Structure 1
Amino acid sequence: MASVARSSLRISALGLVLTTLALSGCKPPKEPPFVEVREPCSDNNPLRNVYFGDLHVHTSYSFDAYINQVNVDPFGAYDFARGEAVELPDADGGTQTVQLPRPLDFAAVTDHGEYLGEVAACKDPDSPAYTSDLCIGLREGDPAVLVQLGLGLAAQSPVRPKAVCEVSDCPSYLGDAWARTQEAAEAAYDRSAACSFTSFVAYEWSGAKTLSNLHRNVIFRSEKVPAIPASHFEEPDFWGLWRTLKRDCIEGLNGCDVLAIPHNTNWSNGNMFVVEYPDGDEVELAGLRAELEPLIEVFQHKGDSECSNGLASPLGAPDELCEFEKLRTDDFEDCGDGTGMQGMVNAGCVSRLDFVRGILNEGLREHERIGVNPYKLGLMASTDTHNGTPGAVEEYAFPGHFGAAEGSSRQRLTGTLPGGPQNSPGGLIAVWAEENSREAIFDAMRRRETFGTSGTRMAVRMFGGWELPDDICSRGDLVELGYERGVPMGGDLPAQPEGASAPGFVVQALKDPGTAEVPGTDLERIQIIKGWVDGEGQSRVEVFEIAGEIGGGTVDVTTCETQGSGQAQLCGYWVDPNYNPEERAWYYARVVEEPVCRWSTRDCNALEAAGEELPASCETAVDVIQERAWTSPIWN
């Protein structure tokens, strides 16, 4: 508890200084501009390299990981991301060893800011709360305690659990856990010229009013971070979160910069991106939202949030690839222009604002109405693992995400949401950055030069412009031309020059090389998805095939052997045939691999080979998966 006390003193001292300055009418003195102290990276490339990471990772510091006997802490999670092995609980009370076949380039541990101190108190035998029923249940994996803590985050005015915080000094435990989180990130960060690994100080804000998901991952640019994380207890709504981050980090702490990444809109019943501007000027608030949230998590282990068939808007032909990795497979009610509740238990209505395409089009509407697009969102993906295992996304070696609750094939196939056969290993974020450093990767995220994948490590570039050459795919200077004459993914097309009739877009994709033991999968096709609001105010989407062809490969699901092949590299150049300069639009690329066996098929095959009775999900679960990548849009 000595470290807890020291942390508490640090926080109290900071608060005393700031309070004294405020009462005296003075502002804190400005420090010199922040410059990261490190060696220059030897891999610096002005044309930018691709780096793969995971920015949504829970460890034993999160209540819903610890309750499932996960003992991997933030230090262990970063070790895992860099290629070291960790031990996870199995179904028999023992452990299993897991290790990445390839290290990641960067990662962030995003433990829940909520209950961060309470979990620490429940682990400490010297804490007065240690013997409370809640702490005992947390340590013993009591599902009722998980439900109790989860429902606490669904309240309109959430409060910390009295059983812990009325008898223990929760702020001190919180400060100590937050300090260790920072220490783990600092210990993992490679400040040498090799720049082999980048870590970010981060946490998750886990608001869930009425059981509609509102979660955000908060990622800091440097080691300069606020004294404590602003959680759902301190800021019960996301507007308060953004204002606090702006005040306490960007404006109040020299060298501090931050962004928030919303995830699992597919569980939000329209609430995460409902168009509202409480208590302030619409233009100012829309700008605040756009500044603090430049990205959205399009995919993770709880499913795909790109698009959904069966909704009235956006209008467009059904897209078969929108059936990919869906949590809601039953019939559902369309929220229309309203919102619902209980999405986190797979209930309530489904909204067009639960999916990226609808959100992006709503941003176009707002831009037209108030002159600011609050939903100008780049795309990324991550795992949301609760095992402390960032980047564990391989279909052929999926260990689950919830510790002892998914410690065997049978448990993974028979669990309930957010686990069970509809679960996914999750995805990865890729960035195009000059080097593997905090500043370069964060700046790439800020400018939205990112793409998300469902776990594959294919490399995808996209550029848009008015003067790109028709033969750009065959040019050795494709990247140079893309930056010189156009804009990359995440950017805005420049003004239409005189004589130009329509913008052109080039997308280049290289297959994931895989490993010597498990080579990567060939590419099937590249598509461009366009969204716009037409002259009658209707929200529309259209999908265009620009490279590759459908149906080159097949899978024998009994052996998981593949036949046929696609391409190791694809490139397509496409000019919008229906361009209307009077209509705002966005364009992003989707790159799809040939099919392979899904993890659930492999687990079913393993049970059958062992002579075990197969669960019912082996008859109903999806057999194959076509891994994919989604680029950030380019806007007109």
Structure 2
Amino acid sequence: MPADAQGPPPWARTETRADCLDYDQLRKPHYGDTHVHTALSFDAVTGGVVEGPRGAYAFAKGLPTGLPPYDAMMNPARTAQLRRPLDFTAISDHGELMGETSICLTPSHPEYSDPVCQEYRDNIPQLDGGTGAFAFFIAQYAAVPVPFRHDFCGVDGTICTDQASLVWADTQDAAEEHYDRSDACVFTTFNAYEYTRAPLASNLHRNVIFRNEKVPSLPITGVEQPQFQGLWPELQSQCIDGIAGCDVLAIPHNSNLSGGAMFVPENIDGSPHTGADAAFRARMEPLVEITQHKGDSECRPGVLSSDELCGFEKMTGVLLGVSPGSGTTYDPRLFVRNALKEGLELEEAIGANPFKMGIIASTDTHNAVPGMVNEADYGKSGHLGTRDGTPALVVASVTESPLGGMEAQGGGLAVVWAEENSRDAIFSAMRRREVYGTSGTRPTVRFFGGDYDADLCGSPDLVDTGYRRGVPMGGDLGALRKKKSPVFTVLALKDPGGASVASAPLQRVQIIKGWVNSTGSTQERVIDVAGDPDNGASVDTTTCTPSGAGFDSLCAVWEDPDFLPSQRAFYYVRVVENPMCRWSQYVCNDAGIDCALPGTIPAGMEECCNEDRPHTIQERAWTSPIFYSPESFGRFKSVIKVKGGGADTLKIKASFERAAEELAPDTEDITLSLVDDDVIYTATIPAGTMTVNKPGASWSLTDPVGAVDGIKKATLKINAKGNAKLSLSTVKTDLSKADLTDHFIHTTLEAGSYSTEHARLWEVKGTTLKPQN
């Protein structure tokens, strides 16, 4: 039980640590970075970076750090410090070349003098923005169809994997040293790494995040599993099934540079996903990184979208590290919104959505500076060490710097709604997708979908009501209002800033809807629900002084006028701030660039006057979608009566707009579970156990003894329209794990690859627990 005796969270404690004093059942936003490279990554080393995980964690906690280049006495030429520390960080150094890089930098190692190592060291530090200094080192690991190790690793590769195990162990030690296990809960670390595959330059990278200190002995890399689809079963086998208490998820990033391959709905052998494949993929990859240093991946104007704001922070190229040629075409699968739409289409066809993803953002820094996203600071620090360590390099053209330069950005932040700042709480928020991403600023954004009154924005209990009568961002919704649209509520508060942090007012709040229409094709719509896109806000780019009105907070309650209960859809929120100077404008201003005097522009700074490049930016936040499905729980009534002594009872009645195809008692096991921080109740009705009252329409199980997991009676009815009703009641049983306090209970229904969840804040009255809907 948490230290302040509030209700338990909907997750179990999997590690030994003190309960957090700062615990909030209604959750708080925690800001972090899940994509950070240090001197353990081969391409950070070529940028002259010397700080490892310990230095990066210290930086994330607010301490200053040195930046390359360094002089002979290892004094840095530059320093950096966050204006606001982070709450959590995952160091995600490349799993590939982890051992090889260490060998090449360790003079006492027998393979230190290998010619490949010598060539690698000869390029440190790299003083240009290209990729040649390290491309030869990584190519055979990441870019070829069948990866293979350098010869100095030995015939079986163990010379390098043995060294990698030492580096991986030290990475874990660093995470443990900086993780606050006290009740202060100031800072959280995660054991993590990056899976780095880019066959033919198609970026397929994933950040792999472990829940706690229980991790495999080595990262699973592209050498062991060249196909990204093979990463998930390996993580399942080696972590979830192979180590007690181990849990893990993967986060794909930079779909914008994947050549369209990131979101291909195929298995490792090229066969199309089945429902089971799609459900497994969604479980292993519940999140996607929507923006980072190498560009934004939300959407692109003209690529299945007419959204005017889709041009935000776009890279010109479509492949990793490859300068774009003329006539570049953009595959729709480069972009997250299109993947979300295709996921709905696939769910309609195969019964499960492989792209049921929540949204975060991060930096992908290769400078060991997690959270370095402030527009005024990023241009001075960069994210690539010496590769973008001068004004000319940081504003270089895409031809000169295909992984950085003018098209790059500081990246963003991952924000999680968690009860406390601990690994279990944050990981669980990621797993349930109650997260959002920002382009670097820190607005607070709540998003709920459910059954709410129109005046909810004026209620001091908005958040409490949001959780009791609906779901937050990332949640599943069914037809809980029958034929009527769910009611969506969004509340956004501007970044509070601080003494050294300027913040912009909010300009507007939008809801982005994607859906599958009656002909089976996907559609999208962008709706302004609050604020004013024509508020006249602007910024003087010569001084970076903003002007114009805006909003400190925006709130809206919205119903979808085009809602049809038969059509699956997603809804996510985009919060847009007033314009401010982009990072590059600060760099150009500091260099004294006057575009009216072309002859005075220093060599290398020409991009400052490229009118095709933006000089301002409208920072923004993207929430995880709320997913509406006809097969999800609609109306839901349940009562848990806790009388003690094994005399407790449970009753559930639920409706569904459409019965899932796999909700078939004759051929599929049906499992119902209720969980908080414990398993309150779980029951599985084996296939063929229920009596068929009417073939394909009505089934029942009646047993006064409760031989099947305590079930006294269960019924499933499906009418001619496909609407379904499910009921279940138990005999007197032991439900003592149900805490008699208001708290979250998650109810899950599963059959084959079908799974849906009802998550609400339940209310206690005496010895009874029940949800409002």
For the pair 1:431 / 2:431, whether they are aligned, the reply is: no
Partner of 2:177: 187
Q: Secondary structure at the match of 2:406?
A: coil
Contact 1:66 1:139 in 2 (8 A): no
Structure 1 range deviating more: 269-278 or 421-430: 269-278
**Secondary structure in 2 aligned to 1:320?**
coil
How far residue 53 of structure 1 moved from its aligned partner, in angstroms, is: 0.2
Cα offsets for 1:183-222 (capped at 9, x unmatched)? 1111110001110000000000001111100000000000
Distance, in Å, in 2 between the alignment partners of 1:148 and 1:50 is: 42
User: What residue in structure 1 maps to residue 335 of structure 2?
Assistant: 355
Label 1:178 to 1:346 Cα distance change in 2 as closer, same or farther (>3 A): farther
| Match of residue 106, structure 1, among 82, 85, 88 | 88
Counterpart Cα distance in 2 of 1:171 and 1:187: 24
Q: Residue 37 of structure 1 corresponds to which residue in structure 2?
A: 16
Q: Distance in 1 between matches of 2:422 and 2:413?
A: 18
Provide the C-alpha distance between the structure 2 equivalents of 1:472 and 1:354, rounded to a whole number of angstroms.
38
**Is 1:117 aligned to 2:99, yes or no?**
yes
Q: Distance in 2 between matches of 1:582 and 1:344?
A: 44
Picking from 217, 235, 250, the partner of 1:245 is 235
Structure 2 CA distance for aligned equivalents of residues 530 and 34 of structure 1 = 36
Kindly indicate whether structure 1 or structure 2 has the higher relative contact order, using CA contacts under 8 Å at least 6 residues apart.
1
Which residue of structure 2 lines up, in the alignment, with residue 220 of structure 1?
210
Per-residue CA deviations over 1:3-60 (Å, capped at 9, x if unaligned) read xxxxxxxxxxxxxxxxxxxxxxxxxxxxxx9731111001110000110000000000
Q: In the superposition, relative to structure 1, how do residues 206 and 264 fare at CA in structure 2: closer, same or farther (>3 Å)?
A: same
**Correspondence for 2:136:** 148
User: Deviation of residue 608 (structure 1)?
Assistant: 1.1
* 2:751 equivalent in structure 1: none
**Match among 627, 631, 636 for residue 623 of structure 2:** 631
Structure 1 residue 128, shift from structure 2 partner: 2.5
Q: What SS does the corresponding residue of 1:114 show, helix, strand or coil? A: coil
The residue that corresponds to 1:566 in the other structure is 550
Structure 2 SS opposite 1:361: helix
Counterpart CA distance in 2 for 1:374 and 1:345 is 31
Residue 342 of structure 1: how far off its partner (Å): 6.6
How many Å apart are 1:277 and its aligned residue?
A: 2.8
Q: Give the whole-Å Cα distance in 1 for the aligned partners of 2:220 and 2:13.
A: 23
Partner of 2:681: none
Measured after TM superposition, the shift of residue 551 of structure 1 is 3.7
Equivalent residue number for residue 300 of structure 1: 292
2: CA distance between counterparts of 1:150 and 1:474? 56
Equivalent residue number for residue 460 of structure 2:
476
Q: Which residue of structure 2 aligns with residue 400 of structure 1?
A: 382
Shift of 1:345: 4.5
Question: 1:92: how far off?
Answer: 8.6
Q: What is residue 323 of structure 1 aligned with on the other side?
A: 311
Matches within 5 A, 1:450-529: 450-465=435-450, 467-498=451-482, 501-529=484-512
Q: Do the aligned partners of 1:269 and 1:349 also contact (CA within 8 Å) in 2?
A: no
Aligned residue for 1:608, secondary structure, equals coil
TM-score, structure 2 as length reference: 0.74
Residue type matched to 1:232 in 2? G
Q: Residue 494 of structure 1 aligns to which amino acid in structure 2?
A: G
> Is 1:374 matched with 2:362?
no
The answer (yes or no) to whether the contact 1:267–1:344 under 8 Å persists in 2 is no
Q: Distance in 2 between matches of 1:432 and 1:34?
A: 17
Q: CA RMSD in A?
A: 2.0
1:549 aligns with 2:539: no
Q: Deviations over 1:70-103 (max 9, x none)?
A: 0010111111111111111149995211111111
1:613 aligns with 2:626: no
Match of 2:258 among 257, 268, 273: 268
Letter matched to residue 296 of structure 1: V
SS of the residue corresponding to residue 255 of structure 1 reads: coil
Q: Which has the larger radius of gyration?
A: 2
CA distance in 2, matches of 1:599, 1:406: 13
Q: Which amino acid aligns with 1:389?
A: V
Measured in 2, the distance between the counterparts of 1:320 and 1:283 equals 35
Matches of 1:510 and 1:139 in 2, distance apart?
A: 48
Counterpart AA for 2:479 = A
Q: Give the AA of the match of 1:525.
A: R
> What letter corresponds to residue 136 of structure 1 in structure 2?
Q
Instruction: Using the aligned pairs only, state the percent identity.
Output: 48
Superposed CA deviations along residues 394-448 of structure 1, whole A, max 9, x for unmatched, are 0001111110111121220125111110110000000001100000000000000
* Unmatched 5+ stretches in structure 2: 1-11, 125-130, 595-599, 629-773
Contact 1:508–1:570 at 8 Å: present in 2 too? Answer: yes
Aligned residue runs from structure 1 range 191-210, under 5 A: 191-210=181-200
Q: CA deviation at 1:165?
A: 4.7
**Shift of the alpha carbon at 1:283?**
2.2
Distance 2:244 2:394 in 1: 46
Amino acid at match of 1:542: R
Partner of 1:287: 279
Q: Which of 427, 448, 451 is the aligned partner of 1:442?
A: 427
Aligned to 1:587, the other structure's residue is in SS state: strand
Task: Give the direction of change, closer, same or farther, for the CA distance of 1:344–1:47 in structure 2 (3 Å limit).
Answer: farther
Distance in structure 2 (CA, Å) of the matches to 1:168 and 1:235: 16
**Are 1:95 and 2:80 an aligned pair?**
no
Call closer, same or farther: CA 1:48–1:195 in 2, change over 3 Å: same
Q: Which amino acid in 2 is paired with 1:178?
A: W
**1:140-164 per-position Cα deviation (integer Å, ceiling 9, x unaligned):** 3266441212422111010111245
Matched with 1:137 is 119
2:695 maps to none
**CA distance 1:550–1:34, change in 2 (3 Å):** closer
Structure 1 stretch 455-464 or stretch 543-552: which is displaced more? 543-552
Shift of 1:343: 7.7
CA–CA separation in structure 2 for the residues paired with 1:563 and 1:469: 36
SS of the aligned residue for 2:488 comes to strand
Structure 1 gap ranges (5+): 1-32, 333-340
User: Residue 601 in 1 paired to residue 585 in 2?
Assistant: yes
Q: Quick check: 2:97–2:138 contact (8 Å CA) kept in 1?
A: no
Of residues 37, 43, 51 in structure 2, which corresponds to 1:64?
43
CA contact (8 A) 2:13 2:424 kept: no
Q: Which has the higher strand share?
A: 2
Asked if residue 384 in structure 1 is aligned to residue 376 in structure 2, the reply is: no
The count of aligned residue pairs is 588
Contact 2:18/2:183 (<8 A) preserved:
yes
Matched to 1:138, the amino acid is Y
Spell out, residue by residue over 1:504-545, the C-alpha distance to the aligned partner (whole angstroms, 9 max, x if none): 111111111112123311110000000011112221110000
The whole-number CA distance in structure 1 between the counterparts of 2:246 and 2:344 is: 30
Q: What is the deviation of 1:495?
A: 3.0
Q: 1:16 maps to what in 2?
A: none
Mapped contact 1:90–1:408 kept (Cα < 8 A): no
Whole-angstrom CA distance in 2 between matches of 1:491 and 1:382: 22
Distance 1:361 1:608 in 2: 46
Whole-angstrom CA distance in 2 between matches of 1:297 and 1:173: 30
- Cα deviations by residue, 1:448-470 (Å, 9 ceiling, x for unpaired): 000000001111000001x2110
C-alpha separation between the residues in 2 aligned to 1:343 and 1:305? 16
Corresponding residue SS for 1:306: coil
Asked if structure 2 preserves the Cα contact closer than 8 Å seen for 1:34 and 1:254, the reply is no
